[in-house]
Amino acid sequence: MTASTPSDVATAFERHDAFAATDDDRFALDSTAFDVTVTATEPDSGKAGAFTVVVPVPALSATVDDPDDVAPVVEDGWFETFERRLEDAFDVAKTSYGDDPVVDRGAETVRVELAYESWDAAEGVADAKALAEYVEGTWVQGLIPGYDYVGVAADLRSQASQNTAGDDDGNGRSGTPL
């Protein structure tokens, strides 16, 4: 258990197979391609925990072979669309107590912060995972065709292609026709 994390929440993190405690009162999520961290503190409201999920994702120009290929207007439009899509993030969570996502744009990294409180420790932890994966999926959906992607963008696009590839019979991985 970490010093500032409520004991029920710390136990829920320990029982969840996708999280690992860090040395600085945070929990790292290993089910995404990004360095997602979650903190949980004692809320004033009497709920189980106040959670903050932080998901740093690369800016569009930081994911392409030649960043100069991404015009500023394209980068701006990509960011604005990403930010708007994140407004629906809490639709995947069971908690209804989420603040609006905070999306901070840096030169190479966009930092997404999602804060909420949960009445139930295990549900709050499950929501942290769902929210982080929503951010990742939204980021991947926002990749614009036509660029030569590198790094995490290339890796995620490759995984998506492999997951949708059919077998010799024209069937998808589930065995159902495409």
Out of 87-91, 132-136, 140-144, 168-172, which region has the weakest mean confidence (pLDDT)? 168-172
The alpha carbon of residue 4 and the mean position of all alpha carbons in its chain are separated, in whole angstroms, by 23
pLDDT digits (tens, 9 = 90+) for 71-96: 999 999 999 999 999 999 999 999 86
pLDDT digits (tens, 9 = 90+) for 25-43: 899 999 999 999 999 999 9
Question: Where do the domains of the chain lie?
Answer: 7-163
Strand residues in the chain grouped as ranges (E): 19-21, 27-29, 37-41, 49-58, 102-105, 109-118
Q: Helix %, strand %, coil % for the chain, to 5?
A: 40, 20, 40
Confidence of residue 173 (pLDDT cuts 50, 70, 90): very low
Is 178's pLDDT higher than 50? no
Q: What topology is assigned to 7-163 in CATH?
A: Yope Regulator; Chain: A, (3.30.1460)
Rounded Cα gap, residues 103 and 101, in angstroms: 6
DSSP-derived letter for residue 116 is E
